[in-house]
Structure 1
Amino acid sequence: MQKFIKILGKGVVASALFFLLLTGCKEDFLNTEPLDSISSEATWADGPLAQAFIFNVYSFLGYGGFEEQGLSSLTDEAMFTHAGRNIRPFNEGTEDATNTAWMSATYQWDQMYLAIRQANVAIDRLPTSTFTDDVLRDRLLGEAHFLRAYYYHQLARFYGGVPLIDRPYGLDEDYSVERGTWAETVDFIVADLDEAARLLAGKTVTPGRATDLAAQALKSRVLLYDASDLHQSDLVTGVFSGYSNIELVASPSGDRAAKWRRARDAAKLVVDAATGYKLDLSGPVSAEEGKQNYVSIAMGGGSAVGDASAAVELIFERTKTPLYTVEDNWPLGGIHHGINNGPNGYNNWAGNTPIQQMVDDYEMMDGSYFDWDNAEHAAAPYDNRDPRLYASVMHDGASWKPRPPASRSFDMVDQIQTGYYDDGAGGTINGVDTRESSIENWNGSRTHYYHRKFIDPDPALPDNQSNAQTVPWPFIRYTEAVLNYVEASIELGEEDVAREWLSRLRYRVGMPAVTDSGDALRERYRNERRVELAYEEHRYHDARRWLIAPETLGRIIQTIDIRATLKPGATPHTPYRYDTDVYDYTYTVVENTENETRTWVNKMYYRPISRDEINRNSLLIQNPGY
């Protein structure tokens, strides 16, 4: 039985098409604007107009993960700097159906159903369209199936099983229907992705548009989730004690190995179909090359200082262009990711700042775990670490771009200053990138770190509104499929395969081979996934599906306090610069509850369905705990 829900409030209007200004189908098609309304019948009689309709379905992808408020700040990756953005109710577990916390439009219930309706219109009309280009028709239909699957997968990740709508509904139809079970939702998404892969096979590959490989990769993700702990009813009955509709969020475990085999095989198909970036190495590269390799991967071919061939990692991306974009001046998006997240000493806004728990999980260069109880580690916490740390996080003393004129007098060597330094006269110099800085202190990091990973490090590209970076957002990249393959292999006891692929991923960033087995291998894998996919919107879901959220996401935020004291007889630098020959540095981990006191309650495994949605559809059953 199909399950449906009202998706356009009290009135459903006839679907309208906005004609999109295109620079050619191979250009950055997501960055186009509607110019005029075209009649429905004209749309499906003309190939370019039908394609424009599909481009509008893509538009619901929004900025991807490049929004000002990132999903990372709802996890143990980051803290959002600015209070009053409605993040606190979520991280403190006080969100409910009447007062929902901040949600991105890229997964919000009503927005996803608007997107799904548009996809359903296309799936309904394309088979009987009258334009003559059959190849284009199949491609557009395949893209519509992919996008519908993507939007349903977003709903499933945040809400569990949802009403499954497979056609556009008219004005006089009943929209009150129940949620599909978790199993039904997974099956629906997988069926769409199989159809998308069939229709897109052999079609032209255009950056930013769905392909058969993208469909297979998304299927790999969905099946991995389906096999995970969160979605096994026997494992979550106690987690959601008293919830009588467990089938909405989990399915009977049954033959769990069969689920893992299905996930493994779907991932293996993707791994075999592509190559990824520098995954054919027989040993680790140097630390410096490892950092540069990871920078190149993060840049996705969109930076002058990265290896353009690293774009091979991208399976499905949001493209960018500085020449033509629909990004608004507020809120800023991907082209201004550096403004949203960079240091206040560069006149940037801090945004989603890494927390100490994230920094601590980057290993030492020899593959051992970082440990504050190790005196050598504690004395120099940024020395000899996994090179991905330096490519992902700005820490005190790290090199960065040339300073803007307003802060040049405080820093002549372009180093991040997030500490407090002895001035040699009994006073303290506040780092120019702290909240005690004279440069926009309200935009200073509360954690004393800054996000670096997706900010273009090109020194010729200042992070201000007169410039724009062109870094793509990685909805899906090859390495995720590799990690999916590794995880399923571990759960099936195929440890040799898991170690081989984990080692390949690590070699390209300068890290040693993996030799662990058993539970230690699983933990190594989980940390590798955390570090490799940091700030790519995976941690939120991974911690939940592994059922480790209470001890990870529920931790009080930790930050770092950095102090520099002059060595005996030394003369302070004027202006200050990081120098271990002149200063002794101490690093103290500090808990921070300025914006939020994080905790965990089990209802946080899912978002609530808002009271407005339930009022519109009395058959909706709320998620556990709300």
Structure 2
Amino acid sequence: MSKMISTIKCTVLAASLIAMTPGCKVDVFPTDRYTEESIYSNASNMELYIAGMYAEFQKFQFGQFPIGYSNATDALTDIEKYTSTVAGNGTVNILATDASRVNAAGPQLNYWQTGYERIRRVNEFISGLNKYAKVDDGTRKQYEAEARFIRGYVYLWLVKLHGSVVLFDNLDQYSSNNHQRSSEEDCYKFIAADFQFAADNLPKQWPSTKTGRATMGAAYGMLARTWLYAASIAEYDKKQFNQDEFTGIPAASAQTYYQNAVTAAEAVIGLANQGYYALEANFTNTFYNKNTKEALFKVDYVAPQLTHTYDLGFAPPRDATGQCLVYGVPTAEMVDEFERIDGTKFLWSNPVHAANPYDNRDPRFYATILYNGSKWKSRTLNTTPGDGTEGFVEYASTTEPHKTVTGYYIKKMLDSTNTTFVVNASTQQWIEMRYAEVLLIHAEAKTKLNDISGAQQSLNKVRNRAGMPNTTASTAAQMMEAIEHERKVELAFEGHRYWDLRRWRKAHLVLNGVKFTGHRITGSGAGTTYEVVSCDNTNRQFTPALYYIPIPTTELQNNQALTQIKGW
């Protein structure tokens, strides 16, 4: 339920406060700068400090990862293709097709330094809060809960990447540079403890004067996500891909962690039953209704102070001819994943389906994909090669095509009313966690606990909201297949697919030794043809070693006790 309106306006000031207190260690009370005591004895200063730390969530807005581009990790998977072939806009393609580019010496997929800088700031805040803050115990715990919510979020990203990382929860630990990694299981337990503390001490809802803050529901949602990841590693990893002593989670822990995920998800469901959360009646509105109850945690934008460039990066070229960047576009694999409206699988081999492939599809298809013949901003989209502005162009025929290389464009989260985004940027919200994801977490964990009926109920809530019939899955295997499908279409382009394939240990099967595809569409009406064409000029590569991204070499040099993850 976070809006980040009033709080984000304070980010620059908060950053200034932090910058003026390096290490937060002073011996006197200078009159020309902030001291620890002055920060924590002043409620306004504390508000600025905590507000500044919320800026961490912007690093991951719109499915972004700190390699610099929105939806970048989805473009490492089967659902999206980046259009550029050169480093920069095309870095994600380089990483997707050359596993050797991910290494300890390189910057790729590296959040280590940035993440640990934020963790230190969080720990400094908690330390100062407990030493100097003149607040009652409830307020103190509430501030700490917010800080630990942020710390848990940062650590979850680090652990998703590396599995085993260094855990810091107090400033005394920073007195030396001898810190070994903790086990992957202990890392997940640490993250879960942060989110549990946050859930125990955050309000269900903030007053309107303090919008932009983590809530109880957001903490429980993150807790559910954390335990689902831990349970998945316990079930699927089985030490098949890395023999490092600190990576992996015992298989015996899987059922406990799935149950923990269910418990956390049901806490959110309980809050929904109290009226705090709900699925948006119209799937499309979820991403544009600033007051949507579907958002457990989101970042709002207010022009001109806080904007983003999502439309500039993904809108079809004619929206701003010559200036749209078209970083990434949907693959044919993503397009074909959307079922028919009756719940049957779409098949090109079915002549009825193939005759009109974009008719009678899952309503989420029309909210997610821009296809040949679709209506967009008062025009009919033409993605055939004959349209020189936004028609299909073969991948790698030019280094920066700034148009589709698959025959499709992303529609989800684009603002159809924004015609000035080149000059004025964009302000639609980014939802970091929404209620639909919690229901899918609940369905998956329930399936793993063999409660098929309970899993069906949560899965069907998501499907029914979209206008789709109940699932026909009735066994655990069928349910997992249905859940993977549902996560793929419901959460498309929200930055989940890469991490799902990793935690299920399916990435080396789905993303390796394969070229993904698009459709070269020619003709019109009954004479339209849909030719399957590769949108990759070389096979994708995902080696088993990539389940644990190496620790940057510079960090090993800075920390004498830290060892590299085996295999790197």
Change (3 A) 1:98 1:32: closer
- Contact 1:30–1:319, Cα closer than 8 Å, also in 2: no
Matching residue of 1:184:
186
2:335 equivalent to 1:354: no
2:300 equivalent to 1:294: no
Shift of the alpha carbon at 1:102?
3.5
Change (3 A) 1:389 1:102: farther
- Contact 1:267–1:484, Cα closer than 8 Å, also in 2: yes
Change (3 A) 1:401 1:63: farther
How many residue pairs get aligned? The number is 526
2:495 equivalent to 1:537: yes
Residue number among 539, 552, 555 corresponding to 1:597 in the alignment: 539
CA distance in 2, matches of 1:169, 1:618: 17
Matching residue of 1:94:
100
2:567 equivalent to 1:622: no
Residue number among 555, 558, 561 corresponding to 2:520 in the alignment: 561
CA deviation profile, 1:357-410 (whole Å, cap 9, x unmatched): 1111111111111122222222322111111111011111111114xxxxxxxx
CA distance in 2, matches of 1:271, 1:469: 32
- Contact 1:112–1:155, Cα closer than 8 Å, also in 2: yes
CA distance in 2, matches of 1:488, 1:151: 23
CA distance in 1, matches of 2:247, 2:79: 25
Matching residue of 1:416:
381
CA deviation profile, 1:271-330 (whole Å, cap 9, x unmatched): 1212587659xxxxxxxxx8xx1110122x14xxxxx5xx101111122111312x6xxx
Q: Which residue identity is paired with 1:120?
A: N
Matching residue of 1:64:
60
Matching residue of 1:512:
469
CA distance in 2, matches of 1:528, 1:493: 19
SS of aligned partner of 1:369: coil
CA deviation profile, 1:175-206 (whole Å, cap 9, x unmatched): 22110101111111111122222221456255
Matching residue of 2:199:
197
- Contact 2:39–2:46, Cα closer than 8 Å, also in 1: yes
Q: Which residue identity is paired with 2:75?
A: S
2:27 equivalent to 1:29: no
SS of aligned partner of 1:420: coil
Matching residue of 1:227:
231
Q: Which residue identity is paired with 2:150?
A: L
- Contact 1:31–1:320, Cα closer than 8 Å, also in 2: no
2:44 equivalent to 1:40: no
2:38 equivalent to 1:79: no
CA distance in 1, matches of 2:354, 2:557: 54
SS of aligned partner of 1:588: strand
Residue number among 92, 108, 117 corresponding to 2:120 in the alignment: 117
Matching residue of 1:165:
168
2:484 equivalent to 1:495: no
Matching residue of 2:213:
209
CA distance in 1, matches of 2:8, 2:212: 8
Matching residue of 2:312:
339
TM-score normalised by length of structure 1: 0.79
Change (3 A) 1:369 1:545: same
CA distance in 2, matches of 1:216, 1:600: 32
Q: Which residue identity is paired with 1:442?
A: P
CA distance in 2, matches of 1:553, 1:30: 41
Change (3 A) 1:207 1:548: farther
2:251 equivalent to 1:253: yes
Q: Which residue identity is paired with 1:446?
A: V
CA distance in 2, matches of 1:196, 1:277: 18
CA distance in 2, matches of 1:432, 1:149: 42
Shift of the alpha carbon at 1:499?
1.4
SS of aligned partner of 2:171: coil
CA deviation profile, 1:511-558 (whole Å, cap 9, x unmatched): 111121112222011101111111111111111111221232333121
Q: CA RMSD in A?
A: 2.6
Matching residue of 2:554:
612
Higher alpha-carbon Rg: 1
- Contact 1:139–1:203, Cα closer than 8 Å, also in 2: no
Change (3 A) 1:257 1:139: closer
- Contact 1:342–1:351, Cα closer than 8 Å, also in 2: no
Matching residue of 1:175:
177
Matching residue of 2:405:
446
CA distance in 1, matches of 2:173, 2:255: 43
TM-score normalised by length of structure 2: 0.86
Q: Which residue identity is paired with 1:512?
A: P
2:159 equivalent to 1:156: yes
Instruction: After superposing the two structures, state which structure 1 stretch, 34-43 or 75-84, moved more.
Output: 34-43
Shift of the alpha carbon at 1:133?
6.2
- Contact 1:396–1:419, Cα closer than 8 Å, also in 2: yes
Change (3 A) 1:432 1:188: closer
CA distance in 1, matches of 2:266, 2:153: 20
Instruction: After superposing the two structures, state which structure 1 stretch, 362-371 or 612-621, moved more.
Output: 612-621
Residue number among 430, 436, 440 corresponding to 1:483 in the alignment: 440
Change (3 A) 1:363 1:551: farther
Q: Write the mapping of 1:139-150 to structure 2, written as runs, cut at 5 A.
A: 139-150=142-153
Change (3 A) 1:238 1:139: closer
Shift of the alpha carbon at 1:134?
5.7
CA distance in 2, matches of 1:191, 1:473: 26
- Contact 2:77–2:497, Cα closer than 8 Å, also in 1: yes
CA distance in 2, matches of 1:30, 1:60: 14
SS of aligned partner of 2:252: coil
- Contact 2:238–2:251, Cα closer than 8 Å, also in 1: no
CA deviation profile, 1:102-149 (whole Å, cap 9, x unmatched): 43xxx7011000000000011111123343466543332211111111
Instruction: After superposing the two structures, state which structure 1 stretch, 115-124 or 510-519, moved more.
Output: 510-519
Aligned residues with identical type, % of pairs: 28
Change (3 A) 1:277 1:210: closer
CA distance in 2, matches of 1:372, 1:202: 48
Change (3 A) 1:505 1:49: same
Q: Write the mapping of 1:395-414 to structure 2, written as runs, cut at 5 A.
A: 395-402=371-378, 414=379
- Contact 1:433–1:445, Cα closer than 8 Å, also in 2: yes
- Contact 2:234–2:254, Cα closer than 8 Å, also in 1: no
SS of aligned partner of 1:139: helix
Change (3 A) 1:170 1:279: closer
SS of aligned partner of 1:383: coil
